[in-house]
Structure formats: C-alpha cells, structure tokens
Structure 1
Amino acid sequence: MLGYPKTQTYQDVKIYSKTGQKLSYTLKHVKGYDATQQYAAIQHKGQYVKHLSYVAKAPFVE
C-alpha cells in the first residue's frame, strides 16, 4: 500500500444543516485522509457516510 495516504478517524462529529442549524445528533465515526483539515461537508444517510469533502470554515460555525 505504498503511496496511499493514511486514514484519519474522527469521532462524534457535530452535524450542521445547509442553513447553519446545529442538528441534534452526531456521526459516531468518520474516516478521512487529510489530518490538516478541520471542516468537512458530509453527505450521509444515518451513520453511513456517502461522501466527504473538506471545506473552509463556514460562517455559521462558532
């Protein structure tokens, strides 16, 4: 597996809606590949993550 980035595991990820509302649940485990990033846009259904992309800090995040 030479050349593949290491997987990062994030736990209890806080979820916000597209409009900036903090939702009442968290994602228990999310895996990503860039440890230098702090914010991500996540498409999910329940606890299943369909797609993750890193984004700049959203203006509604405290």
Structure 2
Amino acid sequence: MYSRMKEQGITQKELAEKMNCTQQYISKILKGRENLSLEALCKIELALGIRILQFDSNN
C-alpha cells in the first residue's frame, strides 16, 4: 500500500480524502495497527487502483 502511494505521489492526507476517512486512520493502517473491514479494503483498492482481495471461482 505504501509503495503504491509513493508511486502515485499520494500523501496519507490525500488518500484519506479519497477514502473519506481520517489521516490518523491511514497512519494506523500503514503501521499495521488497524484491523481492516472488507469495506475499508475495497476503499483502498478503489483509491489506489490495486487489487487486494481476489476470489478463486473454482472453489
């Protein structure tokens, strides 16, 4: 997540604005101090244009 932010030149504050949350929440995520909900994971995916969740339809 951090490397993608760096690639895109996005600050924690800018990511927080895209995700409609606080910069403090983003800081906790990056430090591994926050348990993420599916909703939060989806917001991260949309904000950064990355795939975090992937489901195997064969199972």
Normalized against structure 1, the TM-score is what? 0.23
Q: Which structure dedicates a bigger proportion of its chain to strand? A: 1
Q: Which structure dedicates a bigger proportion of its chain to helix? A: 2
